[in-house]
Amino acid sequence: MNLLLDLKIPKINDYMSSALIEKIYVSEGAELTSGSKILDFSIDLSSAFSQNCPPISYYRIVAREKVQVRQLLKAAGEYGVLDEPIALFSHDAAEPLGEVVARALRVMTAGIVHHEEMWSGR
């Protein structure tokens, strides 16, 4: 079965509209299995909530199915807007990229702590 799958930044909070891509663990052409790390991102809600310490939280997206990374549409240090694809995947490496996206990639999102490999840690 040939399908093109996409990955979008998940809506973690009603006040967010975008997220900073902190670290990308995959490259185009890589084969992922269930549990493979894809990327880390952060959400800064300081414009919605004024505080002494900015409300920034960090998350990791992990694949939940076996796929090929076909195209990365964003890089670390760039913002991903909600409902905008940030990467394309497929089960078959020969799947044409011009096809209509059939569905979202199955992923898991988990809260994490900031680490030194993140874009904002530089």
Decide if 72 is inside a domain.
yes
Residue 122 in domain: no
Residue 13 lies in a domain: yes
Residue range 32-48, pLDDT digits in tens = 999 999 999 999 887 66
**Tell me, what's the pLDDT at 52?**
63
Within-domain flag for 41:
yes
Q: What's the pLDDT tens digit per position in 97-115?
A: 888 899 999 999 999 999 9
**C-alpha neighbours within 13 Å on the C-beta side of residue 19:** 26
For 39-90, the pLDDT digits (tens) are 999 998 876 666 666 688 999 999 999 999 999 999 999 999 998 999 999 9
Q: Which residue has the higher pLDDT, 113 or 2?
A: 113
Say if 50 falls within a structural domain. yes
Q: Count CB neighbours of 8 within 10 A.
A: 17
pLDDT score recorded for residue 65: 97
Give me the CATH number covering residue 47.
2.40.50.100
For residue 1, pLDDT beyond 80: no
Domain contains 121: no
Q: Which domain holds residue 90?
A: 4-116
pLDDT at res. 96: 87
For residues 79 and 39, the answer to whether their CB atoms sit within 8 Å is no
Beta bridge partners of 8: 85
Count of domains observed in the chain: 1
